[in-house]
Amino acid sequence: MGLLGPPVSVVPGSLYVHIPFCRKACSYCNFHFTTSLRQRDVLLRAVVEELNLRILALNWEDQGLGNIRIESKYQGKFPLKTLYMGGGTPSLLTMDELTYVVKGIGNWFDLYGVQEFTLEANPEDVNSTMVKGWRSLGVNRISLGIQSFDDRNLLRMNRAHDAGKAREALRLLQNEGFQSLSADLIYGFPDRTMQDFEDDLHEMLSWGLSHFSSYQLTCEPKTAFYHQVNENKVRMVSEDLVLEQMMHLYNVSASHGYRAYEISNFALPGHEAVHNSCYWSGYAYWGLGPSAHSYDGFRRRSWNVAHNARYQMEIQSGKLPKTEEVLSDDQKFNEDVLIALRLMDGLNWVALEEKHGSERVQSIHHRIKAMPKEWFEPLNLADRTVPLRLSFAGRAVADFIAVELFADSS
């Protein structure tokens, strides 16, 4: 195996499928999506065809499958650990549409062996028929886009649901026996007081979900929110208030038994998201659909064109519409540091040294010593078995700390 690891054609154990359709454009969102729902069938056909093209482009020798004809190579299906349908809003697909995509995946992968099959859903799409349908397709985890339990706030976010609908969706999913249920909550939204956020968090925790994610609002170019800020129609909240909300989030969720296993992700013990954990552990995955990203588990990343029509056209002409990059040593080191600092398990010195050498480890030791101690859980740099972990205060400045530790050439 060379420096870059095995060839890109190795089939990964995780699949992400990007469904780029939404009912409304949320004011803060910069994901790739369209609110025109007309071309769904063409797009879904292209997504399934993308998977076919990827499989047919494999170097079968690399799979240990030898020189057999393609029809017979594929006797047993490829194992799949996690399947994640995100977007966009995959829950707006009809059962027929969703079934079509899942069957397309099932042509190549063993769906019976999937450990975690997540579907992102928005509250307005959750009803008894759909929930039963999702279950029958093998979905065993729902990630529900709630964002807030405050109607005024949801209206300003331009969400397609109100708080009542979110509560109804949660009730329905719990009654239907979805044990693995996650929801999203945004903090740092303008014109919201500390009390407003405390109320949101309090309600989120009262549902006793196995998992939730809470993200700080960011002002992304090309969003409605970005223009509102630039035109002084809304003002970003102060850094102090964001910090206060963040500290509250960590402290209160911990007191309810949640482990902040990643900087924005909170789980009851044993309910950490398997798919996302595969990303953070550096495992290979394929992303299907426009704008979806893929990784070979070593140095190669690729991303599909973020344009539905161009994506479809390229697939129809038999091409994979992706751009590829191979990470340099420095880029890989930086990425490893950045991800490790976001995880509660922290940065493992032994693994970092094995992968990147002792010089790099020495270099970041010096820099850490020059930083405020309160940013870290008790430091013990002399003992390589004690990982570097950020304290709650350090998590508030995690990106800054990571950049300070990046390789010199960055």
Binding footprint of ligand SF4 on the chain (CB under 6 A):
22, 25-26, 29, 31, 33, 87-89, 122, 145
Q: Which two tokens stand for residue 173?
A: 């999913």
Q: Which two tokens stand for residue 157?
A: 């976010």
CB of 260 to ligand SF4, least distance (A): 22
CB of 259 to ligand SF4, least distance (A): 25
CB of 87 to ligand SF4, least distance (A): 5
Residues 6+ apart with CB under 8 A from 349: 361, 384, 385, 386, 387, 388
Are residues 123 and 145 in contact, defined by beta-carbon separation less than 8 angstroms? yes
CB of 120 to ligand SF4, least distance (A): 8
In angstroms, the CA 346 to CA 337 distance is 9
CB-wise, 29 or 154, nearer to ligand SF4?
29
CB of 1 to ligand SF4, least distance (A): 38
CB-wise, 21 or 197, nearer to ligand SF4?
21
CB of 346 to ligand SF4, least distance (A): 30
In angstroms, the CA 387 to CA 351 distance is 10
In angstroms, the CA 274 to CA 281 distance is 10
CB-wise, 26 or 154, nearer to ligand SF4?
26
CB-wise, 87 or 287, nearer to ligand SF4?
87
CB-wise, 158 or 331, nearer to ligand SF4?
158
CB-wise, 210 or 223, nearer to ligand SF4?
223
Name which of 162, 189, 180, 160 is nearest 82 in CA terms.
180
CB burial of residue 360 (10 Å; 0-12, 13-18, 19+)? buried
Residues 6+ apart with CB under 8 A from 246: 187, 216, 392, 395, 396
Q: 286-288 and 14-19 as β-strands: parallel, antiparallel, unpaired?
A: parallel
Name which of 286, 316, 318, 327 is nearest 304 in CA terms.
286
CB of 138 to ligand SF4, least distance (A): 23
CB-wise, 109 or 225, nearer to ligand SF4?
225
**Tokens 């893929």 sit at which residue?**
294
